[in-house]
Amino acid sequence: MKYNEISHFSHPQHILKFEYTEIPFKCDGCKEVGIGSHYRCSFCDFDLHMHCAIPSLSIYHPFYTKCSFQFFYRPPGDTPRYCNACEKDITGFVYHCKSCGFDLHPCCAKLPMVLDDGEVKLYLHRKVRAPCHRCGRKGRSWSYRSGCKKYNLHVACVREMLVENWHELYFGHGKGSTRKLETRIPSLENTLQTPHKRSKGKVKKCCEMAGLALQLVISAVLGDPTALIAGVIGSLMSRA
């Protein structure tokens, strides 16, 4: 559910307003990168993912049928915690299962089980046996896999791509920077491993389909799966 304005316990001094941006921001709730729809206080440069701004008190996830995840505004306990979906550290808002000890970033917890843009359909899996098109390894974190089973992307790998390539842009120019997003994500030619011994036409088609798959997963991981941010994410793929 979307509201034009909300009040939030993490920022009680001002009302947060709904905004849409094509410039990356760091969520002040979960401390992870975001883009697209979010809530913002322009006075304080304070931003929240949609899932962080309007969290559920408790959730259940189909990958963990025996777990009940409770929302925490900071990681419980004194030991470092990591997200069981993307394997990144938990440093802010989190869904935590007390009985099993599992943790999920709010955006990871709400990742759609199916991503479908009409051309590519991707299914979220807890584990897959096929290698990831980004790292070439099997297992690891949750993965999105295409219905044709040709394309597989670890959620962890997509997060690493975003952090590696946006960290310098985001932190190097200040959080309030209005500079447009640059093509910092590596081209698909260097990022996604493509099978050898194919004709140029088939390789190009493979990269195009893999690019569509990557667009879908990036949008979901950033917390805005409904708006694919086609213009921005598309530009990131243009050098493939």
**Beta carbons of 206 and 197 less than 8 angstroms apart:** no
Question: Which residues have CB under 8 Å from 118's CB, separation 6+?
Answer: none
Other Cβ atoms less than 10 A from the Cβ of 136: the count is: 10
Tell me the domain boundaries of the chain.
Answer: 1-110, 111-169+205-239
Could you list the beta-strand ranges (E) of the chain. 5-6, 16-26, 33-41, 46-49, 58-61, 64-72, 94-97, 103-104, 114-116, 121-125, 143-146, 152-154
Residue 89: helix, strand or coil by DSSP? strand
Instruction: Please report the pLDDT score of residue 138 as a whole number.
Output: 82
Instruction: Please report the pLDDT score of residue 141 as a whole number.
Output: 85
pLDDT digit string (tens) for the chain, length 240 residues: 678 999 999 999 999 999 988 777 899 999 998 888 899 999 999 999 999 999 999 999 999 999 999 999 999 989 999 999 998 999 999 999 999 999 999 999 998 898 776 677 889 999 888 888 888 888 778 998 888 888 888 888 887 776 666 555 555 544 444 333 333 333 333 444 444 444 444 444 444 555 666 666 776 777 765 444 444 444 444 433
The sign of the dihedral angle between the CA atoms of 124, 48, 229, 231 is negative
Pairing of strands 114-116, 103-104: unpaired
* Pairwise CA distance, residues 181 & 178, whole Å: 9
